Amino acid sequence: MEDKKVMLEVNDLQTTFFTDSGDIPAVDHVSFHVHDGEVLGIVGESGCGKSVTSLSIMGLVPNPPGKVVGGDIHFEDKNLLDLSEREMRKVRGNDIAMIFQEPMTSLNPLFTIGHQMMEAVLIHHKKKGKQYAKDRCIEMLELVELPRAKDLMDEYPHQLSGGMRQRVMIAMALICDPKVLIADEPTTALDVTTQSQILKLIKELNDRLNTALLLITHDLGVVAKTCERVIVMYSGQVIEEAPVDKLFDSPKHPYTQGLIQSVPDVRKKQDRLYSIEGNVPLPGSIHKGCRFADRCKFAFDRCFNENPEFYQTSDVQKARCFLYDKEGAVEHDKALTRS
């Protein structure tokens, strides 16, 4: 895998929202990378910063109140954070495209599908003309397996079902051959049977077009089905990074372990679900020490005082937990025996 080219690299990204009730570090020193043609999953519960991370990459964090205050985002040979709005506009939708959760709200109800799709092509490839744009749109609609592609061009979003709208969104995102595609909860608003159609499509397109895909989701089932590598976020930080099979076979961080165990499995009936105590922290409720410490059953003194580093637990897996600090080995042995 190492010989693959890194398409997008995020280093030490910090995005903070400056509000009247204080500064909220929604994304707190987040680093990760995506290879060429890879599917990287970002999982986490609400408020963990997964969506703000994607908006930061696209330069779409609402400002004010939000601002990227540190770190860098390398794409090709550029740092996206250094680009002017004008230069960024050339990247957005062209090199890096995004699919949003709500297919109902991200299409303009007043314009036809064709009009909205052609807009993207005409902005980035003005010289090629309208006929080219139109042909390209029809080609893309066929690529996402929509029937009657030609007629669809003249239809309005309300005439389509949720699944069809999401296909249109995918077609639109892929129309300029992006090198990186960010999909933010692309199937959350859809029914299971439609979800499985869309996931299958996304996976096929990823294989065929070799686009690097960043899939943001809260659903571990979707992750297991689609992703190759996964990062888990909690309260603005990346707390675990692993290839997908390692993440499910031997999750290292106590939060990841708890999360995987709390999902009810359709294949077998359990008497009782495992549940993590306490609540998902509100963004901005930052205290000293590990963010997960007060919900963690392995927590010991050090967890409440110091912020753990991102420890390498094997050559491919990392976890932000003192249990994997070799020097702290004595303490966590104590913690393990206590629990």
Partner 1 sequence: MTKHLLEVDGLKKHFPIKKGLFGKTVGAVKAVNDVSFYVKEGETLGIVGESGCGKSTTGRSLVRLLEPTEGKVSFDGQDITKFSANDMRKVRRNIQMVFQDPYASLNPRHTIEKILAEPLIVHGMKDAKKRKEKIYEFLEIVGLNAFHAKRYPHQFSGGQRQRIGIARALMTNPKLIIADEPVSALDVSIQAQVLNLMQDLQKEFNLTYIFIAHDLGVVRHISDRIAVMYLGKIVEITDSNELHQNPMHPYTQALLSAVPIPDPHHDENEVVLEGDMPSPANPPTGCAFHTRCPFKMDVCTKAVPELKEQKPGHFAACHLYNGTNSNDI
Applying CB under 8 A, which residues contact partner 1?
45-46, 161-164, 191-197, 199-200, 218-225, 244-245, 248, 258-260, 262-267, 269-270, 272-277, 279-280, 282
CB count within 10 Å of CB 303 equals: 26
Closer CB to partner 1, 177 or 191, in the complex: 191
Which helix (H) or strand (E) is 76 found in, with range?
Answer: none
Q: How far is CA 136 from CA 101, 203, 213, in A?
A: 24, 21, 22
Shorter beta-carbon distance to partner 1: residue 282 or 316: 282
In Å, how far from its chain's centre is CA 226?
A: 12
Q: Which is nearer to partner 1, 70 or 221 (CB)?
A: 221
SS3 127: helix
- Minimum CB distance to partner 1 smaller for 53 or for 226: 226
Shortest spacing between CB 250 and partner 1, in angstroms: 12
Residue 333 Cβ vs partner 1, minimum distance, rounded to whole Å:
27
Residue placing its CB nearer to partner 1 in the complex, 74 or 218: 218
Output the smallest distance, CB 154 to partner 1, in A: 20
Q: Residue 77 class from Cβ within 10 Å (0-12 exposed, 13-18 middle, 19+ buried)?
A: exposed
Nearest distance, CB of residue 191 and partner 1, angstroms: 4
Please, which residue, 110 or 192, has the CB nearer to partner 1?
A: 192
| Shortest CB 289 distance to partner 1, Å | 20
Read off φ and ψ for residue 329, nearest 5 degrees: -55, -40
25: exposed, middle or buried (C-beta count within 10 Å: 0-12, 13-18, 19+)?
buried
Give exposure, 83-115, as e/b (b: 16+ Cβ within 10 Å).
Answer: beeeebeebbbbbbbbbbbebeebbeeeebbbe
Query: Minimum distance from CB of 38 to partner 1 (Å)?
Result: 15
